[in-house]
Structure 1
Amino acid sequence: MSRRQARCVALQTLFQLDLNSILNKENAIDGVLGLTKVLKERDFLYMHNLVDGTIDNKAYIDSKIGAVSGDWHLDRMPAVDRNILRIAVYELEFGSADLTPKIIINEAVELAKQFGTDDSSRFINGVLGSIVRK
Protein backbone atom coordinates (compact mmCIF):
# COMPACT_ATOMS: atom_id res chain seq x y z
CA MET A 1 0.00 0.00 0.00
CA SER A 2 1.04 3.58 -0.47
CA ARG A 3 0.05 7.13 0.23
CA ARG A 4 -2.27 6.89 -2.78
CA GLN A 5 -4.18 4.04 -1.12
CA ALA A 6 -4.20 6.00 2.13
CA ARG A 7 -5.74 8.94 0.23
CA CYS A 8 -8.34 6.61 -1.31
CA VAL A 9 -9.37 5.35 2.13
CA ALA A 10 -9.39 8.90 3.50
CA LEU A 11 -11.56 10.07 0.59
CA GLN A 12 -14.03 7.22 1.03
CA THR A 13 -14.19 7.88 4.78
CA LEU A 14 -14.74 11.63 4.38
CA PHE A 15 -17.33 10.97 1.67
CA GLN A 16 -19.29 8.73 4.04
CA LEU A 17 -19.06 11.24 6.87
CA ASP A 18 -20.09 14.08 4.54
CA LEU A 19 -23.26 12.31 3.48
CA ASN A 20 -24.15 10.50 6.70
CA SER A 21 -24.07 12.77 9.71
CA ILE A 22 -24.95 10.01 12.18
CA LEU A 23 -21.93 7.92 11.25
CA ASN A 24 -18.85 8.34 13.43
CA LYS A 25 -15.32 8.53 12.09
CA GLU A 26 -14.09 5.19 13.42
CA ASN A 27 -17.09 3.28 12.01
CA ALA A 28 -16.60 4.97 8.65
CA ILE A 29 -12.91 4.04 8.59
CA ASP A 30 -13.65 0.46 9.64
CA GLY A 31 -16.29 0.17 6.92
CA VAL A 32 -13.92 1.38 4.22
CA LEU A 33 -11.02 -0.75 5.43
CA GLY A 34 -13.30 -3.78 5.42
CA LEU A 35 -13.71 -3.28 1.66
CA THR A 36 -10.01 -2.76 0.91
CA LYS A 37 -6.70 -4.41 1.55
CA VAL A 38 -5.17 -3.74 4.93
CA LEU A 39 -3.02 -0.63 5.03
CA LYS A 40 0.55 -0.81 6.28
CA GLU A 41 1.06 0.94 9.61
CA ARG A 42 2.68 4.03 8.06
CA ASP A 43 -0.13 4.36 5.48
CA PHE A 44 -2.78 3.78 8.16
CA LEU A 45 -1.28 6.63 10.19
CA TYR A 46 -1.12 8.83 7.10
CA MET A 47 -4.79 8.10 6.30
CA HIS A 48 -5.77 8.97 9.88
CA ASN A 49 -3.75 12.18 9.64
CA LEU A 50 -5.62 13.12 6.44
CA VAL A 51 -9.04 12.34 7.90
CA ASP A 52 -8.40 13.99 11.27
CA GLY A 53 -6.62 17.01 9.79
CA THR A 54 -9.29 17.57 7.18
CA ILE A 55 -12.07 17.33 9.74
CA ASP A 56 -10.26 19.54 12.27
CA ASN A 57 -9.51 22.24 9.68
CA LYS A 58 -12.70 21.94 7.62
CA ALA A 59 -13.86 25.54 8.07
CA TYR A 60 -10.49 26.94 7.01
CA ILE A 61 -10.19 24.49 4.11
CA ASP A 62 -13.71 25.24 2.90
CA SER A 63 -12.98 28.98 2.99
CA LYS A 64 -9.88 28.46 0.82
CA ILE A 65 -11.89 26.42 -1.69
CA GLY A 66 -14.81 28.86 -1.65
CA ALA A 67 -12.51 31.80 -2.33
CA VAL A 68 -11.51 30.41 -5.74
CA SER A 69 -14.41 28.22 -6.84
CA GLY A 70 -16.59 31.07 -8.14
CA ASP A 71 -20.23 30.12 -8.52
CA TRP A 72 -19.49 26.54 -7.48
CA HIS A 73 -20.34 26.77 -3.82
CA LEU A 74 -19.27 23.76 -1.79
CA ASP A 75 -22.82 22.55 -1.27
CA ARG A 76 -23.35 22.51 -5.06
CA MET A 77 -20.23 20.45 -5.78
CA PRO A 78 -20.43 16.69 -6.11
CA ALA A 79 -19.52 15.18 -2.74
CA VAL A 80 -16.57 13.30 -4.22
CA ASP A 81 -15.08 16.46 -5.74
CA ARG A 82 -15.67 18.42 -2.54
CA ASN A 83 -13.85 15.85 -0.44
CA ILE A 84 -10.97 15.41 -2.88
CA LEU A 85 -10.48 19.18 -2.75
CA ARG A 86 -10.60 19.16 1.04
CA ILE A 87 -7.91 16.49 1.30
CA ALA A 88 -5.70 18.26 -1.24
CA VAL A 89 -6.06 21.65 0.44
CA TYR A 90 -5.26 20.04 3.78
CA GLU A 91 -2.09 18.57 2.27
CA LEU A 92 -1.19 21.88 0.61
CA GLU A 93 -1.64 23.89 3.80
CA PHE A 94 -0.64 21.46 6.54
CA GLY A 95 1.13 18.55 4.82
CA SER A 96 4.74 17.51 4.99
CA ALA A 97 7.43 19.44 3.17
CA ASP A 98 8.30 16.48 0.92
CA LEU A 99 4.98 16.88 -0.90
CA THR A 100 5.19 19.62 -3.49
CA PRO A 101 2.04 21.34 -4.78
CA LYS A 102 2.57 19.55 -8.11
CA ILE A 103 2.51 16.13 -6.41
CA ILE A 104 -0.55 17.01 -4.32
CA ILE A 105 -2.47 18.31 -7.34
CA ASN A 106 -1.51 15.27 -9.40
CA GLU A 107 -2.69 12.91 -6.67
CA ALA A 108 -5.98 14.79 -6.36
CA VAL A 109 -6.51 14.64 -10.14
CA GLU A 110 -5.84 10.88 -10.08
CA LEU A 111 -8.42 10.43 -7.31
CA ALA A 112 -10.89 12.49 -9.37
CA LYS A 113 -10.29 10.26 -12.41
CA GLN A 114 -10.88 7.16 -10.29
CA PHE A 115 -13.88 8.30 -8.23
CA GLY A 116 -15.34 11.39 -9.90
CA THR A 117 -17.18 12.27 -13.07
CA ASP A 118 -15.71 12.89 -16.51
CA ASP A 119 -15.33 16.59 -15.62
CA SER A 120 -14.00 16.13 -12.09
CA SER A 121 -10.30 15.97 -12.89
CA ARG A 122 -10.35 19.26 -14.84
CA PHE A 123 -12.41 20.94 -12.14
CA ILE A 124 -10.13 19.72 -9.33
CA ASN A 125 -7.03 20.76 -11.26
CA GLY A 126 -8.44 24.25 -11.89
CA VAL A 127 -9.50 24.90 -8.31
CA LEU A 128 -6.25 23.64 -6.82
CA GLY A 129 -4.20 25.54 -9.40
CA SER A 130 -6.00 28.73 -8.39
CA ILE A 131 -5.34 28.07 -4.72
CA VAL A 132 -1.64 27.51 -5.35
CA ARG A 133 -1.36 30.67 -7.45
CA LYS A 134 -2.95 32.75 -4.66
Structure 2
Amino acid sequence: MSSRRTARKNAFITLYQGDLTGRPVEDVLNRWRSYRGEEVDLYMARLVRGVEEHKEELDARIGEAAVGWTVERMSAIDRNILRLALYEMLNVEDVPPEVAINEGMELAKGFSSEEAPQFVGGVLRGARPREPEKDGAEGGEEHEERRAGFG
Protein backbone atom coordinates (compact mmCIF):
# COMPACT_ATOMS: atom_id res chain seq x y z
CA MET A 1 0.00 0.00 0.00
CA SER A 2 1.42 3.42 -0.91
CA SER A 3 2.46 5.69 1.92
CA ARG A 4 -0.16 8.30 0.96
CA ARG A 5 -2.86 5.63 0.82
CA THR A 6 -1.80 4.46 4.29
CA ALA A 7 -1.81 8.05 5.54
CA ARG A 8 -5.33 8.54 4.14
CA LYS A 9 -6.58 5.36 5.78
CA ASN A 10 -5.07 6.33 9.12
CA ALA A 11 -6.40 9.90 8.79
CA PHE A 12 -9.88 8.50 8.14
CA ILE A 13 -9.66 6.24 11.21
CA THR A 14 -8.53 9.19 13.34
CA LEU A 15 -11.33 11.45 12.06
CA TYR A 16 -13.89 8.69 12.57
CA GLN A 17 -12.71 8.11 16.15
CA GLY A 18 -12.92 11.82 16.88
CA ASP A 19 -16.39 12.02 15.37
CA LEU A 20 -17.70 9.03 17.34
CA THR A 21 -16.17 9.95 20.69
CA GLY A 22 -16.43 13.73 20.47
CA ARG A 23 -12.75 14.00 21.36
CA PRO A 24 -10.61 16.69 19.76
CA VAL A 25 -8.56 15.29 16.89
CA GLU A 26 -5.33 16.38 18.61
CA ASP A 27 -6.20 14.04 21.49
CA VAL A 28 -6.88 11.22 19.04
CA LEU A 29 -3.56 11.92 17.28
CA ASN A 30 -1.73 11.86 20.63
CA ARG A 31 -3.39 8.57 21.55
CA TRP A 32 -2.37 7.22 18.14
CA ARG A 33 1.24 8.15 18.88
CA SER A 34 1.24 6.54 22.33
CA TYR A 35 -0.60 3.42 21.14
CA ARG A 36 1.59 2.87 18.08
CA GLY A 37 4.81 3.98 19.76
CA GLU A 38 5.76 6.00 16.70
CA GLU A 39 5.45 9.48 15.34
CA VAL A 40 2.32 10.36 13.43
CA ASP A 41 2.88 10.51 9.67
CA LEU A 42 3.14 14.15 8.59
CA TYR A 43 0.73 13.73 5.68
CA MET A 44 -1.78 11.97 7.91
CA ALA A 45 -1.57 14.79 10.48
CA ARG A 46 -1.91 17.40 7.72
CA LEU A 47 -5.10 15.74 6.48
CA VAL A 48 -6.61 15.31 9.95
CA ARG A 49 -5.87 18.88 11.02
CA GLY A 50 -6.99 20.27 7.67
CA VAL A 51 -10.33 18.47 7.79
CA GLU A 52 -10.88 19.65 11.35
CA GLU A 53 -10.01 23.25 10.47
CA HIS A 54 -12.27 23.33 7.38
CA LYS A 55 -15.07 21.05 8.63
CA GLU A 56 -17.87 23.63 8.31
CA GLU A 57 -16.91 24.52 4.72
CA LEU A 58 -16.51 20.85 3.80
CA ASP A 59 -19.86 19.91 5.32
CA ALA A 60 -21.58 22.76 3.46
CA ARG A 61 -20.18 21.56 0.11
CA ILE A 62 -21.03 17.95 0.89
CA GLY A 63 -24.56 18.90 1.93
CA GLU A 64 -25.07 20.85 -1.28
CA ALA A 65 -23.79 17.98 -3.44
CA ALA A 66 -25.64 15.19 -1.60
CA VAL A 67 -29.13 15.71 -2.99
CA GLY A 68 -31.71 14.42 -0.52
CA TRP A 69 -29.18 13.94 2.30
CA THR A 70 -27.92 16.02 5.18
CA VAL A 71 -24.40 15.52 6.47
CA GLU A 72 -25.79 14.67 9.90
CA ARG A 73 -27.96 11.89 8.44
CA MET A 74 -25.01 10.17 6.74
CA SER A 75 -23.20 7.40 8.54
CA ALA A 76 -20.15 8.61 10.46
CA ILE A 77 -18.01 6.44 8.19
CA ASP A 78 -19.29 7.97 4.95
CA ARG A 79 -19.30 11.49 6.39
CA ASN A 80 -15.63 11.29 7.36
CA ILE A 81 -14.57 9.67 4.10
CA LEU A 82 -16.31 12.50 2.23
CA ARG A 83 -14.71 15.18 4.40
CA LEU A 84 -11.26 13.69 3.96
CA ALA A 85 -11.47 13.21 0.19
CA LEU A 86 -13.02 16.63 -0.38
CA TYR A 87 -10.39 18.32 1.80
CA GLU A 88 -7.65 16.63 -0.22
CA MET A 89 -9.35 17.58 -3.50
CA LEU A 90 -9.63 21.25 -2.53
CA ASN A 91 -6.42 21.79 -0.57
CA VAL A 92 -3.67 19.43 -1.72
CA GLU A 93 -2.36 20.77 -5.01
CA ASP A 94 -0.60 17.63 -6.20
CA VAL A 95 -3.71 15.44 -5.79
CA PRO A 96 -5.96 15.70 -8.86
CA PRO A 97 -9.71 15.63 -8.14
CA GLU A 98 -10.17 12.22 -9.80
CA VAL A 99 -7.46 10.74 -7.55
CA ALA A 100 -9.16 12.13 -4.43
CA ILE A 101 -12.51 10.75 -5.64
CA ASN A 102 -11.00 7.31 -6.36
CA GLU A 103 -9.24 7.20 -2.99
CA GLY A 104 -12.49 8.12 -1.23
CA MET A 105 -14.28 5.33 -3.07
CA GLU A 106 -11.54 2.88 -2.09
CA LEU A 107 -11.92 3.84 1.58
CA ALA A 108 -15.68 3.33 1.25
CA LYS A 109 -15.10 -0.14 -0.26
CA GLY A 110 -12.96 -1.09 2.72
CA PHE A 111 -14.96 0.45 5.55
CA SER A 112 -18.58 1.06 4.56
CA SER A 113 -21.58 -0.60 2.94
CA GLU A 114 -21.76 -2.16 -0.51
CA GLU A 115 -23.54 0.93 -1.90
CA ALA A 116 -21.18 3.43 -0.26
CA PRO A 117 -18.49 3.64 -2.98
CA GLN A 118 -21.06 4.77 -5.55
CA PHE A 119 -22.59 7.24 -3.08
CA VAL A 120 -19.18 8.64 -2.10
CA GLY A 121 -18.11 8.97 -5.74
CA GLY A 122 -21.34 10.72 -6.71
CA VAL A 123 -21.20 13.21 -3.85
CA LEU A 124 -17.53 13.98 -4.46
CA ARG A 125 -18.10 14.50 -8.18
CA GLY A 126 -20.93 16.89 -7.32
CA ALA A 127 -18.78 18.76 -4.80
CA ARG A 128 -15.64 19.03 -6.90
CA PRO A 129 -14.62 22.49 -8.04
CA ARG A 130 -16.12 23.44 -11.38
CA GLU A 131 -13.80 24.27 -14.23
CA PRO A 132 -14.40 27.89 -15.22
CA GLU A 133 -16.14 28.30 -18.56
CA LYS A 134 -13.98 29.62 -21.39
CA ASP A 135 -15.65 33.02 -21.31
CA GLY A 136 -15.38 33.12 -17.51
CA ALA A 137 -19.13 32.71 -16.93
CA GLU A 138 -20.31 30.16 -14.38
CA GLY A 139 -23.14 28.62 -16.40
CA GLY A 140 -25.70 29.32 -13.69
CA GLU A 141 -28.78 27.49 -15.02
CA GLU A 142 -26.90 24.30 -15.90
CA HIS A 143 -25.14 24.37 -12.52
CA GLU A 144 -28.48 24.73 -10.71
CA GLU A 145 -29.94 21.75 -12.60
CA ARG A 146 -26.95 19.55 -11.71
CA ARG A 147 -27.10 20.54 -8.05
CA ALA A 148 -30.81 19.79 -7.90
CA GLY A 149 -30.13 16.29 -9.21
CA PHE A 150 -31.43 16.73 -12.76
CA GLY A 151 -28.17 16.83 -14.72
Question: What TM-score range do you get, normalising by the shorter chain?
Answer: 0.7 to 0.9
Cα offset, 1:102, TM superposition: 1.0
CA distance in 2, matches of 1:87, 1:133: 15
How does the TM-score come out when normalised to structure 2?
A: 0.77
Larger Rg: 2
**Per-residue deviation at 1:131?**
1.5
Structure 2 counterparts to residues 42-61 of structure 1, below 5 A: 44-61=41-58
Higher RCO (C-alpha under 8 Å, 6+ residues apart): 1
Aligned to 2:3: 2
**Residues 108, 117 of structure 2: 8 Å contact kept:** yes
Matched with 2:74 is 77
Query: CA separation in 2, counterparts of 1:109 and 1:38?
Result: 28
Could you tell me whether the CA contact under 8 Å between 1:65 and 1:131 is conserved in 2? Answer: yes
Q: 1:72, CA displacement in angstroms? A: 1.1
Q: In structure 1, list runs of 5 or more residues that go unmatched.
A: none
Q: Report the Cα offset of residue 92 of structure 1.
A: 1.2
Q: Does 1:88 align with 2:85?
A: yes
For 1:5 and 1:30, locate their aligned partners in 2 and report how far apart those are by CA, in whole Å.
Answer: 18
Residue 99 (structure 1) shift: 1.0
| 1:25 CA displacement | 2.2
Cα distance in 2 for residues equivalent to 1:117 and 1:105: 17
**1:7-47 deviation per Cα after TM superposition (whole angstroms, max 9, x unaligned):** 111101110111111x2323423445636x967x7xx1100
For the structure 1 residues 115 and 30, does the alpha-carbon distance in structure 2 shift closer, same or farther, using more than 3 Å as the test?
farther
Alpha-carbon contact 2:90-2:129 (below 8 Å) kept: no
TM-score by length of 1: 0.86
CA contact (8 A) 2:11 2:47 kept: yes
In the alignment, does 2:128 pair up with 1:132? yes
Distance in 2 between residues matched to 1:7 and 1:38, nearest whole Å: 17
Match of 1:122 in 2: 118
**1:128 partner SS:** helix
Q: CA 1:111–1:38 in 2, change beyond 3 Å: closer, same or farther?
A: farther
**Does the CA contact (< 8 Å) of 1:11 and 1:87 recur in 2?**
yes
Number of aligned residues: 128
* Higher fraction of helix: 1
5+ residue gaps in structure 2?
A: 131-151
Structure 1 runs of 4+ aligned residues shifted over 2 Å read 23-27, 29-35
